[in-house]
Amino acid sequence: MSDDGTERLWLVDRNYDDKGLIVLAYATLDGSAVRRIERAPIAVERMGGVTAAVDADPGTLESVEDDDRRERYASEAARMADRHDPDENV
């Protein structure tokens, strides 16, 4: 947790839902918590893309109960943190 009380999350998954929205999943480095964000493609374009990381209030995070998913999220979060700056568009 940072000094301002937020948690750094790294992009671990990007999909489209049945409404055509982009669903972004950002997770903690250990994969134990995730925040899902839905965005319209035009909104992502107007924002200039998707960043490698976001900072979130811990109260907005969901616990990841599935062991396989937690391991996958942890692996992908570590990979993103190693390869990208937090504000880098990916």
pLDDT per residue as tens digits for the range 3-55: 678 999 999 999 999 998 999 999 999 999 999 999 999 888 888 889 999 99
pTM of the model: 0.90
Rounded to whole angstroms, the Cα distance separating 56 from 65 reads: 19
Rounded to whole angstroms, the Cα distance separating 16 from 42 reads: 13
Phi and psi torsions of 18, nearest 5°: -70, -10
Residues 6+ apart with CB under 8 A from 6: 55, 56, 57, 58
Question: Under DSSP, is residue 47 helix (H, G, I), strand (E, B) or coil?
Answer: helix
Residue-level pLDDT at 52: 97
pLDDT per residue as tens digits for the range 60-86: 999 999 999 999 999 999 999 999 999
